[in-house]
Amino acid sequence: MRVRGYAALYAAATVFAATSLLVKLASNYYSGLFVSTARFAVGAILCVAVLIGRYKSLRPARPGLVAARGAFGACSMAMTYAAISLTGPGRAALLGNVYPLFVVLFAALFFGESLRPRTLACVAICTAGAVLVVRDGSGAALAGDLLALGSAVFAGVAINFVRRATQSDNPFMLYLSPCLFGMPLAAFTPIPASSGGAIGILLVVGVGVAAFAAQALMAYGYREVPAGSGSVVFYLETALTVLLGAAFAGERFNLRFAGGLVLILGGLALNHARPIRARPRSP
């Protein structure tokens, strides 16, 4: 049922927002590249454990789709984590979460999905809200902004492959793929100057576990919901990430956040509204 699919996507958006906060906190102890690599390692361990324990197999049903999802997804994830460490969870979420635009565009151009006017309206409204959520002029690094935008492009492609691969492969196989593709980053990751202590280690492990849960929820949701309309749900992640960043990571927001949040929730409501059917005229 699509209700369960949308519920899974909303849960995934919430967990992704919490993951972004954990990434920012962990970047106080480690580089963004190290946090990203550790996330891939934890994710790979958890996926292999579930696949062997529950599914008794590590062989994908459609290797081509799973590999494509992994390659594009790994690039998007690594760029997102680097962007968060360079800027902040709220700003990186704002720029990175424009990926529904690319999901809809790539779904229509390359995968034959219909481009509904209401979906376009939802994307436009939510994008306007996302722009209002975080103000510019914060002095954030340009490199972080570009990485966040690049992650949105790669995510737009990856989500379309997730949508198609979920018809034949389970969510854990789909998350194992980007984790394996991301593992080679370890060769370029500098060794941390310190262990980070118990707090640093817990934060990094928490990033891996939370990302694992969010990816599984997302893959399940896209099994029931089309990529274009389903991806609009993740604009909620932007608002939640900024709120968590303000509460726990020192990020600031003003009345624009309230206005942006209203637009985001309005766009989400429009996305779920049922079309009004014309009533038959009485004779």
Q: How far apart are CA 263 and CA 230, in angstroms?
A: 17
Percent of the chain clearing pLDDT 70 (strictly above): 91
Higher pLDDT, 283 or 82: 82
Count Cβ atoms below 10 Å from residue 135 Cβ, excluding itself: 15
Give 167-192 pLDDT, tens digit per residue: 899 889 999 999 999 999 888 888 88
Q: What is the mean pLDDT of the chain?
A: 84
Listed residue (118, 73, 111) closest to 229, CA to CA: 118
Let me know the angle formed at the C-alpha of 98 by 9 and 121, rounded to the nearest 5 degrees.
80
Count Cβ atoms below 10 Å from residue 31 Cβ, excluding itself: 17
CA 177 distance to own-chain centroid? 16
Q: Are 267 and 242 in contact (CB under 8 A)?
A: no
What does the block give as tokens for 106? 């790539």
Listed residue (217, 216, 259, 211) closest to 239, CA to CA: 259
What does the block give as tokens for 161? 């492959």
**Looking at the predicted structure, is the pLDDT value of residue 46 above 70?**
yes
In terms of Cβ atoms closer than 10 Å to its own Cβ (0-12, 13-18, 19+), residue 239 is buried
Torsion of CA 34, 178, 207, 26, to 10 degrees: 20
Radius of gyration of the chain (CA): 19
Higher pLDDT, 66 or 273: 66
Count Cβ atoms below 10 Å from residue 266 Cβ, excluding itself: 15
Higher pLDDT, 26 or 88: 26
Average pLDDT over residues 130-139: 61
To the question of pTM greater than 0.85 for the whole model, the response is: no
Q: Are 211 and 171 in contact (CB under 8 A)?
A: no
